[in-house]
Chains A and B, each alone.
Chain A
Amino acid sequence: MSPAAVAPMVELAEVHKAFGHHHVLRGINITVPRGSVCVVLGPSGSGKSTALRCINQLEEVSGGRVLVDGELMGYRETVHRGAPALQRLSPQEIAQQRSRIGMVFQRFNLFPHMTALGNVVEAQVHVAGRGRRQARERAEEQLAKVGLADHVGHYPSQLSGGQQQRVAIARALAMDPELMLFDEPTSALDPELVGEVLAVMRDLAESGMTMIVVTHEIGFAREVADQVVFMADGVVVEQGPPDHVLVTPREQRTQDFLARVL
């Protein structure tokens, strides 16, 4: 497979994000090939979650380009007064783009008024337009895959954190995404529950899903990642295979960070 023939799944090119005068991302370049796992590490406040949220347009980028599967996210290229320009897509068009990308949040964000099954059925029916029955079957299958076949009828408040996060993963996967984004998926979990969520993510990676994972789990990065990105102060300090970035980092900031977390 020649890299030129297939567009990378995700491409961030010189991405900037500023909240008012607060410049969070200062020109990020990350390329994630199809079927690979990219783990983003960095101290808190380094902009790694913001970078992730720019990919599915939960944050509007201030500068640069975000491409998913070769498609420009959030904007349409057009011509304004004779010069090339970008026009913001309508909320409906952005929703359409998002429906191909799954996202898992630090705080799970399950819908508390729906059962585990209801959570997984919801977007299938109201976004993908599947029939209730088909959506239900798919939801049951997906929940079984994350080890929750016995808990389909439970509300999120009746589930442990690890179980909730696995429902959240099933909810995203039921939409058949091409790309999965994980925003610190284990940071809100009790230590003994982290393993079950990482196990599901590991299985997912083995199945060939393209994943971008923001996490503090260095062990997971070393074991599963094809590529590790280390961010600090809104820039990518170092990126490459885990052996390079995690074992023999070149940059002083990466070395300092790893010394602190390991």
Chain B
Amino acid sequence: MTEPAAVGVAEGGAHPAHDPVPNRIHAIPVRYPWRWVSAAAIAVLAAMALHGLVTNDQFQWPLVGRYLFHPNVIRGVGWTLWLTAGSMLIAVVLAVLLAVARGSENPVMRWVSWFYIWVFRGTPVYTQLVFWGLISVLYPRLSLGVPFGPDFIEFSTKDLIPASRGALLGLALNEAAYLAEIVRAGLQSVDPGQSEAAKALGMKNGSILRRIVLPQAMRVIVPPTGNETISMLKTTSLVLAVPFTLELQFATNAIGNRTFSPVPLLVVAAIWYLTITSVLMIGQYYLERHYGRGFDGHAAATTRSSHRGGRGRQSAINAAGTTHDPSPLDEVGGPPKAGTL
């Protein structure tokens, strides 16, 4: 009798002694000729595009190189980054407050949150930015005090909210309205059993939110928030409306106009926006990994050897190596008492 196993081992050759599968299949893989055809077609198209980019003098590549690290451009990158990071940070904090207020048992809080989202989501961000630019005209002086009564502290609006802060505030307040809805969806995605278990342990609403619900909601919140951050990166170019003129888009545009070479400066801006977006995407990957811990086989991979291929619950359990087949009762200690009764 010829065993297929013997044939397999003979063919495989390498280390037949270690293979626990006696009749290992060495299958011939499925061939995908069309993949090769499509790859070739794409390669030709890519070469054409590259050729068009390199040989077209209108792009003025030497100019791109010269202005890529121009001080005004670098300063523009700095301001763009600051506006993006700063406004997102304010927006996230505000959004969590709005989302919690929206789900609050206090009707006043619910109504305030609803109204805020209605106003800031319902008007164009450009309009809001123009408004923040004009606030010092509307209210030349701001003061803290009793309405219709005495004032305690007074500020000049122009000093308190210069264009840079107006831009930051305008972007943040608008963004918070969108993020609030994302956070709300995240909070709703958490199994109600989680807060119930926390309540049963005697936890108070504040700690339940901070310790139990929000960390789990982050799994749902982070991906769309990453999306919003990348969108915000480019929305910062609208702060011209305030008017604030130091960020990347305006800085490159200004150089382009001055030197009568708009295209290479557009390329400079595009390169920088793409670079920042790439960095943000890397950051998002790590954030998602952090908040995904405990939800997939990933933690098993880091705490245990290197079993990474596993997906889903069962493989996570297997990867963790916590269960052993013979009898789960062994672990309890004591004789296995009548099973299911």
CB atoms of A199 and B329 under 8 A apart: yes
CB atoms of A122 and B211 under 8 A apart: yes
C-alpha gap A126/B212 in the complex (Å): 11
C-alpha gap A56/B339 in the complex (Å): 30
Q: Select B303's contact among A153, A175, A217, beta carbons within 8 Å.
A: A153
B294: chain A residues at CB < 8 Å are 112-115, 155-157
9-residue interface stretch from A5-13, A72-80, A102-110, A249-257: A102-110
C-alpha gap A101/B341 in the complex (Å): 28
Is A134 located at the chain interface by the 8 A CB criterion?
no
Contact A123/B322 with A113-B294, A193-B328, A200-B332 known, Cβ cut-off 8 Å? no
Would you call the interface of chain B mostly helix, strand, loop, or mixed? helix
B197: chain A residues at CB < 8 Å are 103, 105, 109-111, 168
What's the count of A-B pairs with C-beta under 8 Å? 148
Contact A127/B320 with A156-B294, A195-B329 known, Cβ cut-off 8 Å? no
B191: chain A residues at CB < 8 Å are 109
Contact A175/B320 with A112-B294, A153-B303, A162-B328 known, Cβ cut-off 8 Å? no
CB atoms of A158 and B300 under 8 A apart: yes
C-alpha gap A107/B191 in the complex (Å): 11
CB atoms of B341 and A148 under 8 A apart: no
CB atoms of B319 and A195 under 8 A apart: no
Is A34 located at the chain interface by the 8 A CB criterion?
no
C-alpha gap A105/B200 in the complex (Å): 10
Contact A98/B202 with A126-B207, A219-B341 known, Cβ cut-off 8 Å? yes
Is B296 located at the chain interface by the 8 A CB criterion?
yes
The smallest beta-carbon distance between B308 and chain A, in angstroms, is: 14
Is B323 located at the chain interface by the 8 A CB criterion?
yes
How many residues belonging to B are interface residues under a CB distance threshold of 8 Å? 46
- B206-246: CB near A (< 8 Å → 1, else 0) gives 01000110011000000000000000000000000000000
CB atoms of A158 and B299 under 8 A apart: yes
CB atoms of B196 and A159 under 8 A apart: no
Would you call the interface of chain A mostly helix, strand, loop, or mixed? helix
CB atoms of B216 and A113 under 8 A apart: yes
CB atoms of B193 and A175 under 8 A apart: no
CB atoms of B204 and A95 under 8 A apart: yes
Output the nearest chain A residue to B328 by Cβ-Cβ distance. Answer: A196
- B187-208: CB near A (< 8 Å → 1, else 0) gives 0000101101111111111010
Is A46 located at the chain interface by the 8 A CB criterion?
no
C-alpha gap A146/B332 in the complex (Å): 6
A194: chain B residues at CB < 8 Å are 339-340
CB atoms of A159 and B320 under 8 A apart: yes
Report which residue of B205, B329, B331 has the largest number of chain A beta carbons within 10 angstroms of its beta carbon: B331
Is A202 located at the chain interface by the 8 A CB criterion?
yes
Output the nearest chain A residue to B290 by Cβ-Cβ distance. Answer: A113
B215: chain A residues at CB < 8 Å are 113
Is B334 located at the chain interface by the 8 A CB criterion?
yes
B340: chain A residues at CB < 8 Å are 191, 194-195, 217, 219
Is B268 located at the chain interface by the 8 A CB criterion?
no
CB atoms of B322 and A217 under 8 A apart: no
CB atoms of A220 and B293 under 8 A apart: no
How many residues belonging to A are interface residues under a CB distance threshold of 8 Å? 60
- B298-341: CB near A (< 8 Å → 1, else 0) gives 01100100000000010011011011000011011110111111
CB atoms of A91 and B203 under 8 A apart: no
Output the nearest chain B residue to A151 by Cβ-Cβ distance. Answer: B322
Is A16 located at the chain interface by the 8 A CB criterion?
no
Is A218 located at the chain interface by the 8 A CB criterion?
yes
Q: Which residues in A have some Cβ–Cβ distance to B below 8 Å?
A: 56, 58, 91-92, 95-96, 98-103, 105, 107, 109-115, 122-123, 126-127, 146-148, 150-151, 153-160, 162-163, 168, 171-172, 175, 191-196, 198-200, 202-203, 217-220, 223
A-B contact pairs, 12 of them (CB 8 A): A58-B200, A95-B199, A100-B202, A103-B197, A103-B200, A111-B197, A111-B212, A113-B295, A115-B294, A122-B201, A162-B328, A199-B329
Other 20 A-B pairs with CB < 8 A, given A111-B197, A122-B201, A172-B200: A95-B199, A96-B202, A98-B199, A101-B200, A105-B200, A109-B191, A109-B197, A112-B216, A112-B294, A113-B294, A127-B207, A150-B322, A153-B303, A157-B316, A157-B317, A159-B320, A194-B340, A203-B334, A217-B341, A218-B341
Q: Which residues in B have some Cβ–Cβ distance to A below 8 Å?
A: 191, 193-194, 196-205, 207, 211-212, 215-216, 291, 293-297, 299-300, 303, 313, 316-317, 319-320, 322-323, 328-329, 331-334, 336-341
Closest 7 CB pairs of A and B: A219-B341, A99-B202, A158-B320, A109-B197, A155-B294, A123-B201, A103-B200
